[in-house]
Amino acid sequence: MVDQLRRLFATNFPVGIEIGIGDDAAVLTGINNKLVATTDMAVEDIHFKRDWSSAFQIGAKLTTANLADLFAMGAAPKYLLVAAGLPSNLEDNFIEELAKGIRSVADKFEVNVVGGDLSKSEKIVLSITALGDLAKKPVTRSGAKVGDLIFVSALPGLSAAGFAILSRGLDRPRYVVDAHLAPKLSAPLELINCASAMCDISDGLSVDAANLAMASQVNLVLSKELISNAAGFSDLAELATELKEDVFDWVLNGGEDHFFLATVDPEKVNGLSAIKIGEVVAGDGKVMLDEDVIKKAGYQHF
């Protein structure tokens, strides 16, 4: 098993690894500042379906979710540990494809897989821990100040739209289906550098914004007009109308988009390419859409 793991996760840039896969534990020298750590699990038929997702996509998507959590703290991702429970009736190359999917995201950010565990399991279970290095102050959820402006790194709702498409047995438009099955991750570097508070919005904008509002003890007022003017909104709205769904439900409650929500001091917003969607006001932890308080809905697993 160790040989298999070592082969699957052999890397071209083994930086900061004194001992990798193959001994009792990895010995790592790449954390020079604070250690940032997060873990996430994905379970077949809860988080993904084998009918919809390839092994590659399953691996890539969970890796994306993990690395997004590190980025949301302002950290530079360094290492992954991967535990997988796998049925014995999988197609031959499933585990290779799963590892390639993990590597496709890890390689992009020069992250190494340094530990793993393979087990039998009736349903596929994948659990990934991501470790990063943080040289500066962490960007927490609790730093939002009244008067800050609210940004997202990209317009959410794409993954929910993709889910709506797949649920109807359709497979296009591809850009929303891909957003659900193979979400792309970009490091939110410009937001890390200026945010007073930040989080990823993979649980749904409404849920994650509420957590940030509560942690910062402010209200976040999102603007329907600003959201409606965001790039990509009109295509999404058109698709929602076709499917008789509510585009604001996708945007606010969709979840599984690995984008970032940040609050930024208005004096620091010059030149930001992120999308402005609202403003921080005095309050006790609510999220509003214009005048209406948004109830936490968040992402519902199938």
Query: Which residues of this chain interact with a second copy, rule CB under 8 A?
Result: 2, 18-19, 22-31, 34-43, 45-47, 68-70, 72-73, 75, 79, 81-85, 114-117, 119-123, 125, 127, 129-132, 134, 138, 140-141, 199-200, 211, 215, 301
| Smallest distance from a second copy to CB 197, Å | 10
* Location of structure tokens 């020079």: 32
| Smallest distance from a second copy to CB 121, Å | 5
Nearer to a second copy by C-beta: 15 or 46?
46
Nearer to a second copy by C-beta: 148 or 203?
203
Nearer to a second copy by C-beta: 162 or 188?
188
Q: From residue 112, give the alpha-carbon distance in Å to each of 3, 30, 104, 106, 259.
A: 16, 11, 11, 7, 23
What is the rounded distance in angstroms from the CA atom of residue 38 to the CA atom of residue 212?
Answer: 18
| Smallest distance from a second copy to CB 50, Å | 14
What is the rounded distance in angstroms from the CA atom of residue 75 to the CA atom of residue 136?
Answer: 8
Whether the Cβ atoms of residue 16 and residue 33 lie closer than 8 Å to each other? no
Nearer to a second copy by C-beta: 73 or 221?
73
What is the rounded distance in angstroms from the CA atom of residue 235 to the CA atom of residue 247?
Answer: 10
| Smallest distance from a second copy to CB 133, Å | 10
What is the rounded distance in angstroms from the CA atom of residue 254 to the CA atom of residue 263?
Answer: 20
Backbone torsions φ then ψ of 48, nearest 5 degrees: -155, 160
| Smallest distance from a second copy to CB 289, Å | 23
| Smallest distance from a second copy to CB 42, Å | 8
Nearer to a second copy by C-beta: 150 or 236?
150
Q: Which helix (DSSP H) or strand (DSSP E) does residue 131 occupy?
A: strand 125-134
Nearer to a second copy by C-beta: 31 or 177?
31
Nearer to a second copy by C-beta: 26 or 209?
26
Coil vs helix vs strand at 207: helix
| Smallest distance from a second copy to CB 45, Å | 8
Query: Which residues, other chains included, contact 44 with Cβ-Cβ below 8 Å and sequence gap of 6+?
Result: 50, 123, 124, 125
Q: How is residue 56 written in tokens?
A: 């590659």
Q: How far apart are the first and last CA of the chain?
A: 33
Tell which residue, 106, 130, 71, has the closest CA to residue 261.
71
